[in-house]
Amino acid sequence: MAGKVYLVGAGPGDARLITVKGLQCIEIADVVVYDRLANPSLLKSMKKGAEKIYVGKKPDRHTMKQEEINQLLVDLALQGKTVVRLKGGDPTIFGRVSEEAGLLRRSGVPFEIVPGVTAAISVPAYAGIPVTHRELASSLSIITGHESPEKLDHSIKWDKVTNSTGTLVFMMGVAKIGYISQQLIEHGRSPDTPVALIRWGTRAEQETLTGTLADIEAKVAAAKFQPPAVIVVGEAVLQREELKWVEDLPLFGRRVLVTRSRSQASVLVRRIEELGGEAYELPVIETVLPTDPEVLKHTEQALSSLEQFDWVFFTSVNGVEFFFRHLESAGTDIRSLHKARIAAVGPATKAALAARGIVAESLPERYQAEGLVEQLGEMWKPGQKALLPRGNLARSWLPEVLRQRKLDVTEIIAYETVLPGEDDEELLKLLEEGGIHIVTFTSSSTVTNLIAILKRMGLAEPAEALNKANIACIGPITARTAEEAGLRVSVTAEEATIDSLIESLSGLNRKSK
């Protein structure tokens, strides 16, 4: 039985601009066939074991001819697979969808066309250019600019197109900008007509060049302006100076590598995107329950006698999350800790406890274990029993200090930190090309794990590649680990919090502009 093919528009570039249905199709696909203009980060939504096939086209070469792509979709579907053909923008706007869908229909393969946000309107919007305006442009034409002059003359009736609408949008026409400008002027457009070229619109590489029909070719040559780009011609371009918005955001133009675990990355990713940056996620930490029988037995014994503890110290959100998973598994009542005072390092850890109805002791001024000692040390008494639910890679500093203060310390390994199994070839490409502008580290383990993953992927000198970017660390301990790994730390957050890290990133970007 034949599978099904979804011809999906990926949107203009920013992965968040794909439609809900488009993303759902990617999530259920057995195979995703994608091109150059589709954001590779969308592929992270594919289910485990799904296949991805790159058929992208560049101006100077094609990975696969269009006829071969058409047949590939048929062949995959006839194997019973659910296939997503992922295209930049909208599949019906110069996306060759008719050819692909036509062969699918003739081959008896069911398909759906899933519209996308076309670059023709969204890319100008990200440059502050509305393609229509009540007074300046009440109509719009979308025109291909990719063909040779002879083909352009055959497919475009310049005498009709030039003045038929207020705004003209040419797709993929950078190399032909001189010819396009010449034809528009010869057929009645004023040489003073405003023009804008927006390159890689909605992505970190977004760049806008403005001019007029008379001088835009010279400006493109002087700036060595390269495709892909959208060309906008018309008075609506004048709105840019007043309406440009994304370029004013603190992290505009920066692709930021986020190395937190998948479950914890969302807050940092959202803050980066709110500030105009493009977050690139590579989870380098995976937290799992321990499997060693001796470790589990030790945890079980501690949980069976919770009423004996005077203190419980949580030093991370993971410590909270996994401690409660162990409680649930053991069928232990949290009220067994009625005698204990509960302390947390950092506001996120305190918030994780509060979500479970537990109010932790006052926060330390410094969001690390040293601050906990400074804030609460005078309250500790020799002989008191302390419980520390921790990860297998946690620092030994806190339990050592507690023992020096003569407390009876019980450590339990509530979770283990392991390397994720997935490699990311796209990241290697970005690092090589300088496409990662900032690398964030939120713990020492994110540093050591990223280095290990890059080596596993075949990168002989990870530090050398990472040092092409700015390195941002959440605190001095993480920064020290990064420096010991050969990284040049550009900025260290004043406080060990996501908010402070984001502020540091914004300041770093302002200095580099």
Q: What is the pLDDT of residue 364?
A: 55
pLDDT in tens, 252-311: 999 999 997 776 778 899 999 999 999 999 989 888 999 999 999 999 999 999 999 999
Which pLDDT value is given to residue 494?
A: 86
| Higher per-residue pLDDT: 367 or 220 | 220
Half-sphere exposure in the Cβ direction for 358 (13 Å, CA) = 22
Q: Does domain 291-417 have CATH number 3.40.50.300?
A: no
Measure Cα distances from 380 to 347, 384, 422 in Å.
22, 7, 44
- Give the pTM: 0.82
Looking at residue 512, its pLDDT comes to 60
CA 74 remoteness from chain centre: 32
- Give the mean model confidence (pLDDT) for residues 503-513: 75
pLDDT for residue 230 is more than 70: yes
Residue that has been written with the tokens 């060049």 in this structure: 209
- What pLDDT is stored for residue 397 in this prediction? 83
Average pLDDT over residues 464-477: 94
Other C-beta atoms closer than 10 Å to the C-beta of 139 total 12
Residue type, 270: R
At 418 the pLDDT is 86
| Whether the domain at 4-117 and the domain at 121-247 fall into the same CATH topology | no
Q: Of 71, 100, 490, 480, whose CA–CA distance to 256 is shortest? A: 490
pLDDT at 150 over 80: no
Give the residue extent of every domain in the chain: 4-117, 121-247, 255-285+420-512, 291-417
pLDDT, tens digit, 9 for 90 and up, residues 29-64: 999 999 888 898 899 899 989 999 999 765 555 578
475, pLDDT greater than 90: no
Q: Say whether pLDDT at 513 is over 60.
A: no
**What pLDDT is stored for residue 419 in this prediction?**
86
Name the least confident of 86-95, 169-178, 317-326, 364-373: 364-373
How many DSSP H helices and E strands does the chain contain? 20, 22
- In the prediction, which pLDDT does 363 show? 62
- Which are the catalytic amino acids? 35, 57, 172
Mean per-residue pLDDT for 130-152?
Answer: 85
CA atoms within 13 A on the CB side of 287: 24
Collapsing DSSP states into helix, strand and coil, what is residue 75? helix
| Cβ-contact 140, 111 below 8 angstroms | no
Tens digit of pLDDT for each residue in 92-109?
999 899 999 999 999 999
Sheet holding 229-233, edge to edge: 140-144, 167-171, 229-233, 194-199, 207-212
Look at residue 506 in the predicted model and tell me its pLDDT: 87
- Within 10 A of 67 (CB to CB), how many other CB atoms are there? 10
H-assigned helices in 114-264: 119-126, 149-155, 158-161, 177-186, 216-223, 240-243
Roughly how many angstroms between the first and final C-alpha of the chain, as a whole number? 57
Burial of 284 (0-12, 13-18, 19+ CB in 10 A): buried
**In 3-state terms, the chain is what percent helix, strand and coil (to 5)?**
40, 20, 35
Q: Which fold has domain 255-285+420-512?
A: Rossmann fold (3.40.50)
Q: What integer is the mean pLDDT of 236-240?
A: 96
Check if CATH label 3.30.360.10 holds for domain 4-117: no
Residue 187 has pLDDT above 90, yes or no: yes
pLDDT at res. 452: 94
Walk across the sheet containing 408-418 and list its strands.
Answer: 286-288, 408-418, 385-391, 311-314, 341-344
Q: Which ranges constitute the DSSP H helices of 4-115?
A: 20-28, 66-78, 97-106
- Per-residue model confidence as pLDDT tens digits over 373-382: 777 777 889 9
Q: Which of 119, 132, 170 is nearest to 17 (CA)?
A: 119
Q: What is the band of 510 on the pLDDT scale with cuts at 50, 70, 90?
A: low
3-state SS track over 91-146: CCCCCCHHHHHHHHHHCCCCEEEECCCCHHHHHHHHCCCCCCECCCECCEEEEECC
As a CATH number, domain 121-247 is 3.30.950.10
Number of neighbouring beta carbons within 10 Å of residue 150? 8
Q: 132, 27 in Cβ contact below 8 A? A: no
Least confident of 45-59, 165-179, 215-229: 45-59
DSSP code at position 439:
E
CB burial string 410-442: b at 16+ within 10 A, e below:
bbbbbbbbebeeeebebbeebbeeebbbbbbbb
Which pLDDT band, with edges at 50, 70 and 90, does 365 fall under?
low
User: What average pLDDT is seen over the chain?
Assistant: 91
**pLDDT beyond 60 at 416:** yes
